[in-house]
Each structure stands twice: as structure tokens, then as C-alpha cells.
Amino acid sequence: MNFLKCMLGLSLAPSAAILFTVAARTLWSLSGRSPVVYPFLSGIILPALLRVFLDLRGSRAGRAIMVLYVFGHELTHALATWMGGGKVFAFKAGSDGGHVDVSHVSAFASLAPYCVPLATVIVVVGYRVWTWVHPSAGGEPVFLFLMGLTLSFHLVATFECLWSQKQPDLDTAGGIVFSLALIVLANGLVFLVLLKVLFPKLVGLWPVVRQTAVETAAFWSWCGRGLEAAAASLRSR
């Protein structure tokens, strides 16, 4: 089964990488187009700057951020397990890591923290409640800033988590290749959908999907030509 998932991961990897790259280019294209995107872009930049200048392990603020991330990470595992009909027996989260004991595991529950920006979901729910309680209160710039902040924090923390140490979740879900392909693909999709929802007049999904399909087809066509050239070279020997 892991072999099949590895092959599936390899087949998805080009599309995942291209989709995420297209999403990043879409975000870049928003800069300077309208002042409405500035709060969102400010939120996007802040976590990256904090990661560069803040020691996540040695400083008190860094450890507090790590506790917050680990808590959200393990909570997402727990929520995904509950959604799949499983049970959670134990929950632990701290600056040095966390763990959730569950009745059974699945690829969805294992990869959910890497794919679903839980803090961003909480911001959306919180803002909807705020606008329901205070319909004319406004607050759109703050909402956009928090959306960018939480989404960027999710991406930066996910990269840090995957880069800094081996994650057993990836093996549980079906292997590193399969898991990484799904993580990149899911984050690219989430990023694009959020950009479309937040800035519907500035972002078009169909051109992005078309561009991803065209670039993916070009990649596989290039691979095909490479294999044909290699086969021809072998036959000529």
C-alpha cells in the first residue's frame, strides 16, 4: 500500500509544487493593485520576519509561540480524529512537543495539522460572530490582517516543523513522498481559495487552475521527451 501511495505522491508532486508556486505568484500580483490588500499582506509578512529575528527555542516569546503552535497542532489531530468517528484518550502539548493518543489513525487525521490552518478558521468564525453581534462595527482591515497573520503563521510553522525534525505523522499517513505531496497540494488550494474569497474581484480561480494544468502538462511532456531521448540513446549503443 505504501508503494502505491509513493507512486501516487510522485505523480501528484509536480502539480502540487506548481499549484503552490502559482498561489505564491498570485499573492505577489496583489501587491500594489489595491489598498484593500495591504492589511492582509502586512499579516503575511509578520510571521516570516518573526521567524528570522526571534529565537523560537531560546526566548520566552519564542517558547510561548511554540506552545501555541503545538497546542493547535495537536488539537487539529484531535478534531480530525473526532470527525472521522474516532476517540481521543490523551492530549499533551508543550514547547518541546506534544502527543495525542487516539483510538485509530488515518491519513486525514495524521496530515490535518499540516494542511488545515486552524487559527485561520478560528479567525473566520470569530469575525462572523463579531459581525452578527455588531453588524455595523466594521473591522475589515483587522480581519484581513489576522487572516494573513494566521495563514502565514501556519505555513511558516508547518515548514519549520517538517524541516527541523522527522515527523512520524508522515509515515503513518502513507510515507514521506505521499504526505508531502498532499501537504503542498492542500496548502496551495487553501491559499488560493482564501485569496479568491477575500479578494473576489482581484483573484480569478479559473485562470489559476488553467495555468496549473498547462504547466503540469508541460512538465510531463518534458519528462516524456527526456525518456524518449534516453531510450533512443540506449538503442543506438
Cα–Cα dist 20/23, whole Å: 5
The letter for the amino acid at 94 is G
Tell me the CA distances in angstroms from 88 to 21, 70, 160, 172, one per residue in order.
36, 17, 26, 17
Tell me the CA distances in angstroms from 126 to 90, 120, 148, one per residue in order.
27, 10, 15
Averages of pLDDT over runs of 10 residues in the chain (237 residues) are: 77 87 86 83 88 68 78 87 82 73 82 91 91 81 93 89 81 86 92 89 82 85 83 75
Cα–Cα dist 92/101, whole Å: 9
Residues 6+ away with beta carbon under 8 Å from 202:
30, 33, 34, 37
pLDDT at 200: 86
Nearest to 121 by CA among 228, 13, 197, 212: 197
Tell me the CA distances in angstroms from 86 to 80, 82, 137, 183, 189, one per residue in order.
9, 5, 40, 22, 26
pLDDT at 130: 87
Give yes or no for a contact between 38 and 49, defined as CB atoms under 8 angstroms apart. no
Cα–Cα dist 173/187, whole Å: 17
pLDDT at 147: 94
Cα–Cα dist 198/208, whole Å: 16
Cα–Cα dist 60/76, whole Å: 24
Q: Where are the domains of the chain?
A: 2-235
Name 97's bridge partners: 94
pLDDT at 134: 80
pLDDT at 145: 94
pLDDT at 120: 93
Residues 6+ away with beta carbon under 8 Å from 119:
72, 150, 153, 154
pLDDT at 144: 93
pLDDT at 1: 55
pLDDT at 57: 62
Cα–Cα dist 143/164, whole Å: 31
